[in-house]
Amino acid sequence: MASVILKPWPFENRVVKLHWIGNAVLTPAKKWRISVAFEDRKQVNLVQYPIGLLPMFRIGQYYQYGRPLTSQKDGTIEALLVQDLSHGHTEQALNVCRSFNYYLHGEVELIRQRIWCFQSQGIHYFIPHAELIRALFVKNKELANALLRPMGLEFLIDSCQINGKTVELAFSNALPSSILNNHFVSHFAWLYLTPVIRKSFESVQSNVYANAAQYGMPYGQTLELNVPQVMNSKWTVRGRRIKDQVLIYELLRFTGADIAFNRIGYSHDSIKQRYYVPSPKKKQKTKWEKEQDFEVNNDQKDEAREDINQPVIELDDTQIFFQNQIEIKRIPKAQQQINQGDTYITRKGAGGANAITASVDESIAGGALQPIDFKTIELADAKKFGLEDFYQMLRIFADIHQEFQISVSPVPLPLGRKFALLPSGERRICAVVRVMPRYLQPIYILEVARPDQRSLSTLLVRIKNAKNRGDEEKSIHNLLNALVLKSGSWSKDCLQHVYYAKLKHTSTDSRHWADRVFEKISFFV
């Protein structure tokens, strides 16, 4: 799978953790950058990257060689009901992080970041404003670049026509064709057509400029939003709990998003009506047919070129569940000839380098760099995703066995077989749990979502010859690839490089399940 490599990368081959998000900074070239704090050997190092990368930044995620390790994230999973998100208040990061012994290492820029504080069912929750902005609004690089532009959403559409419960959106060519699907259109319509959500999106830009007018811009400004009213929303989050307080690192899934329309039609210059002729077929091998890595370098002086067919990098999705069913229809602007003859004309593409220099800044005519975009949203078709009982068991397990350090990373299964998708069409998820006994190597628990009641045991593994989290990541992804290729079976062939034990699903009683997991872990200790 294609991936993004961050440049500059001052950490050599060490595994580091994304610790916190800092200020948005406007460069002399009028480009927005975001400071990212990485924890390396008990110190933090702030590095600036284009704000277009904001969709990929998750607090608590580990990196190596500038690449995110998708199975390596700090924190455990919590589920909560948010009755009204706007009922809360904002605190400085220092005031909140002190309660969690989450050290910001005396960095003034980190200490002054904003955290939204609210309660649910007797529990106090704290989520950074930057994470709320990422999870609710910034799902790709275009939306990230629009965030701090006055009336930024208006630059992404050419026109909007409303007729009762039907709306037609004509997207501008600032958006690449490769991100235009039902998921993106539904989310954009929610942003653009829901007044309270749009007002909240636009508040980020107005707050940054208001603070800059008061305090100046040399060192940048915190990202802060006016928190919108989102009612009766069910959240799944990854974070850190201490008694009745939870510091949220990442919002994984939420419900309660409503659109006041039943039908959405959308058009774009790339959407064409096809017609077929008996001419020779053309087949062009492009440089994107092979997996590519894309290097995004903050120091790059060139500009991104215009390209409506730019590559899209898949990142961890935020799942959104819309309460109302929406009919979405593509509206073609022109016609496209499709040849259906018996012969082929083949033209080879230019091929691809191991790492292609790319950009997530706004594209311009005459630019030289390859633009890229991100896919970070999935519309959830079901209210349950098949891991709720497992997460409940983990919370009980963590309460009982506080001698273990536990972290959970929900990882989408790789595509390639039918098993990678749920019957609803959503991507099947595997919860990768890292259990760290004192003074011993980590033990991983792999639990695959089974809302369709597939027969698949929980897998516990200790990875052989792993030197760091990067090696552990490779082994886990090898296991998940083999699982998909075997259509949902932990075969002995894929387990020969790990010590393993399997645990059948015999009871959903959380306490009994937790006890059985501990028995299996004892097998490794």
pLDDT > 70 fraction of the chain, expressed in percent and rounded: 91
Separation CA 249–CA 304 (nearest Å): 31
Closest to 208 in 3D by CA, of 23, 54, 33: 23
For 46-97, the pLDDT digits (tens) are 999 999 999 999 999 999 999 999 999 999 999 999 999 999 999 999 999 9
CA–CA separation, 397 and 404 (whole Å) = 10
d(CA 518, CA 501): 12
- Count the Cβ atoms, other than its own, within 10 Å of residue 414: 17
| pLDDT reported for residue 489 | 92
The per-residue pLDDT for 341 is 60
For residue 351, the model assigns a pLDDT of 47
Tens of pLDDT, residue by residue over 281-329, are 655 444 444 568 999 988 777 899 988 889 999 898 899 998 888 899 9
Instruction: Give the rounded distance of the alpha carbon of 466 from its chain centre.
Output: 26
Lowest mean pLDDT among 57-61, 127-131, 342-346, 378-382: 342-346
Work out the number of other CB atoms within 10 angstroms of the CB of residue 129: 22
Residues 156-199 have pLDDT tens digits of: 999 999 999 999 999 998 899 989 999 999 999 999 999 999 99
Within 13 Å, how many C-alpha atoms sit on residue 150's CB side? 2
pLDDT number for residue 386:
83
Distance CA 71, CA 408 (A): 8
State the Rg of the chain over Cα. 23
Tokens encoding 478:
């090898």
pLDDT tens for 381-434 read 655 678 999 999 999 999 999 999 999 999 999 988 899 998 888 889 999 999
Q: How many CA atoms lie within 13 A of 94 on its CB side?
A: 8
For the purposes of burial, counting CB atoms within 10 Å of the CB of 340, is it exposed (0-12), middle (13-18) or buried (19 or more)?
Answer: exposed
Q: Please, what is the average pLDDT of the chain?
A: 90
Q: CA of 159: how far to CAs of 154, 156, 275, 306, 492, in Å?
A: 9, 9, 27, 21, 57
On the question of pLDDT at 243 being above 50, the answer is yes
pTM of structure: 0.93
Measure the CA–CA gap between 277 and 505, rounded to whole angstroms: 55
User: Which residues, other chains included, contact 169 with Cβ-Cβ below 8 Å and sequence gap of 6+?
Assistant: 157, 159, 160, 185, 188, 189, 192, 264, 265, 266, 267
What are residue 76's DSSP bridge partners?
Answer: 239
| 320 close to 254: Cβ distance less than 8 angstroms | yes
Residue 331: per-residue pLDDT: 92
For the chain, how are helix, strand and coil distributed in percent, rounded to 5? 25, 40, 35
* The pLDDT of residue 44 is above 60: yes
Q: Phi, psi (5° rounding) for residue 314?
A: -80, 125
Residue 142 in this model has a pLDDT that exceeds 60: yes
Amino acid making up residue 194: T
Whether residue 126 contacts residue 119, with contact meaning beta carbons closer than 8 Å, is answered with: no
pLDDT of residue 474: 95
Q: By CB neighbour count within 10 A (0-12 exposed, 13-18 middle, 19+ buried), where does 164 fall?
A: exposed
Q: Where are the domains of the chain?
A: 388-524
What's the confidence (pLDDT) of residue 349? 46
Burial 216-228 (b: 16+ CB within 10 A, else e): eeeebbbbbbbbb
Per-residue pLDDT band for 353 (boundaries 50, 70, 90) equals low
How close are the terminal C-alpha atoms of the chain, in Å?
Answer: 35
Give the Cα separation of 46 and 213 in Å (integer). 24
Judge whether 129 and 90 are in contact, CB under 8 Å.
Answer: yes
Amino acid 348: pLDDT: 47
